[in-house]
Amino acid sequence: MPSGRGKVLQKLHRGVRGLPASGYFCPVRNKKKNIVLEKLLVLDYAAEGKSLARTDGKVIFIENAVPGDVVDVRLQKNKKDWAEGVVIHTHSLSADRTTPFCDHFGICGGCKWQTLPYEKQLAYKHRQVEETLKRIGKVPLPELMPILGAPETTHYRNKIEYTFGTREYTRVKPVKAEQGAEITAPEPFRGVGFHAKGFFDKIVDIQTCYLQAEPTNAIRNAIRIFAIAQNWSFYDIRSHAGFLRTMQVRLCTTGELMVNVVVGENDPEKIQTLMAFLTKEFPSITTLLYTINTKWNDSMNDLVPVVYSGKGYVIETLTGERAYHFKIGPTSFFQTNTKQAERLYTVTRDFADLTGNEIVYDLYCGTGSIGIFVSDKAKKIIGVEMIAAAIDDAKENAALNNLQSTAFFAGDVIDVCDDTFFETHGRPDVIITDPPRAGMHDKLIQKILDIAAPTVVYVSCNPATQARDLNLLAEKYEVTRVQPVDMFPHTHHIENVVQLKLKP
């Protein structure tokens, strides 16, 4: 005979409705695998910004819900111990909810946490870091320092990329004409905005975006209106045809503004017309470029942007012990939130415990921004990065700041940092590592363990992979300080800085 719980589950799978419900238990409808969980109380946030609820011990991950909501959820994935679903009906809203400020909220797919007050966002992110480090890292932790929130929660990005397209994403289904009715062909869609989540070919046509300060919206909307008036084609990714393809806008705290328009056709007349229009309408653009891309993909790495006006790059400034200047070209990487990058790098420098006598190895150094930022407190900075073009930028940035005690090398850390390298440049007193979301390769972790520098500072944009790596580093290191930093308000993304000290 099935247990009491087994009988309930049997009834649920038969589609029985009307069973008593509570915050943790709900009736289920099951028709042709169309399972709906009714009156679920959303309890918390989980990884990747999804909310979670529970029913009879099973965890349900939910898109587009806020803790405190009571909702009906249609399951899209259904496993033994967990399931994923989407809200199809809301019975009551959480008291914590706030009104989204963006007209595109819920369609665009970005800034998903606009429905939460910023203080609540920070609280959830802080707890996410702590629980992730404990659950995955399984290492002793000090008390986490209070999360560093962003003073500006809108208009904080210095770079945005927009996409031109002919296929619009909208949640409104087209109305079918009645039989025999006269059909008027609609105007073909031509829009510019962001890729819709889960669609490689559809875009959300954006009127006002709050991620970057003006004139970003004015420039994007002006190009759309002007191009449609000229009857220019927008790029269609399926047919691989169209003139306007993408555009990047980079706005620095220095006031310098760079616009790079990527076109899918090598049409000098159209390009000249567009460049002349932008030059006249937006004199605030300090560097205007265009890039011709006739490939199937949007990668910029093998393309050559053409400078139409200006110096071909912009200068951004980070203020630390002094003002550090960075030359940023159309394909350069730089932290997208300049003000919070200053705070992130300040934490990194403080965690390095520098006295002016240390040799610092900056791994995954990119264009050298962290190493340059902490350089005035160190004896020497050695940066290592796989991407050769980034190392070229790092060397330029070091020269721009008149730094004599920095050296940057292209290559894999595992290959570069051998005994001969240490004999030439010295063994590190401090290692700073800032890997991509995938975290560090296990061979690099072993290399760090072999080097055994007294202090390691681990900067991460993914606490889950950071926690995994901390578990491996625990062979020789203990976690001594933890500082979460919010770089991207209204999203679930979070940066975290960890200080590790070599065990006695």
Boundary (domain end) residue, out of 39, 73, 92: 92
312 has pLDDT over 60: yes
The answer to whether residue 103 is domain-embedded is no
Residues 254 and 396 in one domain: no
pLDDT the model gives residue 18: 33
Which of 209, 365, 417, 461 is catalytic? The answer is: 461
Residues 61 and 11 in one domain: yes
Residues 212 and 138 in one domain: no
Residues 350 and 436 in one domain: yes
Residues 398 and 467 in one domain: yes
What phi and psi values does residue 448 have, to the nearest 5 degrees? -65, -40
Please state, for a pLDDT cut of 90, what percent of the chain lies above it. 84
Boundary (domain end) residue, out of 92, 110, 133: 92
Residues 346 and 256 in one domain: no
The answer to whether residue 180 is domain-embedded is no
Q: Residue 303's CB: how many other CB atoms inside 10 A?
A: 16
pLDDT single digits (tens) 435-446 = 999 999 999 999
Residues 141 and 275 in one domain: no
Determine which helix (DSSP H) or strand (DSSP E) holds 17, and give its type and residue range: none
Residues contacting 212, CB < 8 A, separation 6+: 155, 157, 158, 159, 160, 249, 251
How far is Cα 499 from Cα 484, in angstroms, rounded to an integer?
Answer: 12
What phi and psi values does residue 473 have, to the nearest 5 degrees? -70, -15
CB distance 291 to 261 below 8 Å: yes
CATH code assigned at 490: 3.40.50.150
48 has pLDDT over 90: no
Q: How far apart are the first and last CA of the chain?
A: 58
In the block, which residue shows the tokens 């989204």?
Answer: 100
Taking residues 294-304, what's their average pLDDT? 93
Residue type, 91: H
pLDDT the model gives residue 180: 54
Nearest to 220 by CA among 207, 204, 203: 207
Most confident of 184-193, 343-352, 384-393, 414-423: 343-352
CB distance 251 to 216 below 8 Å: yes
pLDDT single digits (tens) 6-29 = 443 333 333 333 333 333 344 455
How far is Cα 65 from Cα 97, in angstroms, rounded to an integer?
Answer: 10
Taking residues 145-173, what's their average pLDDT? 93
Taking residues 72-101, what's their average pLDDT? 94
Residues 134 and 166 in one domain: no
Name the band, by pLDDT with cuts 50, 70 and 90, for residue 172.
low
pLDDT the model gives residue 1: 43
406 has pLDDT over 90: yes
Specify whether 252 is catalytic. no
Nearest to 490 by CA among 206, 213, 149: 149
pLDDT the model gives residue 34: 84
Query: Domain of 11?
Result: 4-92
Residues 290 and 402 in one domain: no
In the block, which residue shows the tokens 């979070």?
Answer: 494
How far is Cα 7 from Cα 18, in angstroms, rounded to an integer?
Answer: 15
Residues 372 and 291 in one domain: no
Cα–Cα separations (whole angstroms), residue 493 to 113, 199, 480, 490: 10, 21, 23, 9
pLDDT the model gives residue 179: 57
Taking residues 27-48, what's their average pLDDT? 79
CB distance 486 to 460 below 8 Å: no
Determine which helix (DSSP H) or strand (DSSP E) holds 288, and give its type and residue range: strand 287-292
142 has pLDDT over 70: yes
Taking residues 290-314, what's their average pLDDT? 96
Please state, for a pLDDT cut of 70, what percent of the chain lies above it. 90
The answer to whether residue 325 is domain-embedded is no
The answer to whether residue 201 is domain-embedded is yes
| Chain Cα centroid distance, residue 176 | 39
Residues 165 and 292 in one domain: yes
pLDDT the model gives residue 188: 86
pLDDT the model gives residue 503: 97
How far is Cα 343 from Cα 499, in angstroms, rounded to an integer?
Answer: 16
The answer to whether residue 435 is domain-embedded is yes
How far is Cα 185 from Cα 120, in angstroms, rounded to an integer?
Answer: 47
329 has pLDDT over 50: yes
For the ranges 198-202, 227-231, 366-370, 400-404, the lowest mean pLDDT is seen at 198-202
CB distance 329 to 312 below 8 Å: yes
Q: In this structure, what token pair is assigned to residue 323?
A: 């003002």
For the ranges 151-160, 352-361, 409-418, 428-437, the lowest mean pLDDT is seen at 409-418
Taking residues 292-303, what's their average pLDDT? 94
CATH code assigned at 79: 2.40.50.140
Look over the chain and give the mean of its residue pLDDT values, rounded to a whole number: 91
Q: Say how many domains are in the chain.
A: 3
Nearest to 335 by CA among 173, 495, 148, 113: 495
The answer to whether residue 38 is domain-embedded is yes
pLDDT the model gives residue 320: 82
Boundary (domain end) residue, out of 92, 110, 140: 92
pLDDT the model gives residue 9: 37
The answer to whether residue 184 is domain-embedded is no
Name the band, by pLDDT with cuts 50, 70 and 90, for residue 186.
low
The answer to whether residue 385 is domain-embedded is yes
For the ranges 15-24, 89-98, 166-175, 344-353, the lowest mean pLDDT is seen at 15-24
Residues 213 and 349 in one domain: no
Is the whole-model pTM more than 0.85?
yes
pLDDT the model gives residue 301: 86
